Amino acid sequence: MTAVATLTRATETASRRRKTAEPIRVAVLDDHAAVRAGLEAILGAAPGIVPVGSAHGEAELHWLLQRADPSVLVLDVHHPGLHGLALSLRLKRRSARPRIVLYSGRGGELLTVAAVVAGVDAVVAKSDSEGSLLEAIRDAANGANPPPAVSLSSQRRAAARLDPADHAILAMRLAGTPWTEIAASLRLPDGTVTERAAAIVIRLTDTPSPTESPAAAG
């Protein structure tokens, strides 16, 4: 190996190490001030994680995303006048960054289905440990979160909650089909597909089903 090649490899290795050592910048969206403060305290005490701010609504969040450029966003499902998964879907349609961790008081199979449709990177229950949340944030930042598994019975229950016209979008999203292919397959404008997908995640999560956790959403 030549001296130039050796130097190049050493430089690339050092660059990868610096990238790995960079702190994970995390923003929080929640309409409850106490929840925002608690999450920021947990994040601030975690090695390798830096809280970069919190927001209580969509307008404030967009300002925060532009100013702080977080690598991970932690949010809940329901906020006054705002649906967390519909927002997540719109954000993910624009860019892979920030990664999104859904931190919800509601569980259940339909939430999992909706999360996969929206493209969130991880789902953590508020009843889980702080360690589970931090692990999900780290995995999301590293792109190490596989999509949650969705059983065939869950797919059927989700489809039963939707209009038949939306079954194709649901099936393709659960199969991991890219958005551009979905739009092309259905011969619909990209924006129309996004709007219909947002309506799907709202429909799946707005009314608790008998198989969902009784914990309150929000």
CA distances to 76, 163, 166, 170, 182 from 186, rounded to whole Å, are 31, 15, 10, 12, 6
pLDDT of residue 9: 57
Q: Which parts of 22-121 fold into alpha helices (H)? A: 33-44, 58-68, 84-94, 109-118
pLDDT of residue 2: 52
Q: What is the pLDDT along the chain (218 residues), one digit of tens a residue?
A: 554 444 455 555 444 444 556 899 999 999 999 999 999 999 999 999 999 999 999 999 999 999 999 999 999 998 888 899 999 999 999 888 899 999 988 778 999 999 999 999 999 999 999 999 999 999 999 988 787 889 999 999 999 999 999 999 999 999 999 999 999 999 999 999 999 999 999 999 986 544 444 333 34
* Helix/strand/coil for 78: strand
Strands (E), the chain: 24-29, 49-55, 72-75, 78-79, 82-83, 99-104, 122-125
Widest CA span of the chain, in angstroms? 66
pLDDT of residue 145: 78
Pairing of strands 82-83, 78-79: antiparallel
pLDDT of residue 79: 86
pLDDT of residue 105: 83
- Rounded Cα–Cα distance for residues 158 and 152 (Å): 10
Task: Kindly list the structural domains of the chain, giving each domain's residue range(s) and its CATH number in brackets, ordered by start.
Answer: 23-218 (3.40.50.2300)
- Give ∠ CA 94-97-98 in degrees, rounded to 5: 115
Which token pair is 22?
A: 């960079």
Tell me if 26 sits within 8 A of 49, measured CB to CB. Answer: yes
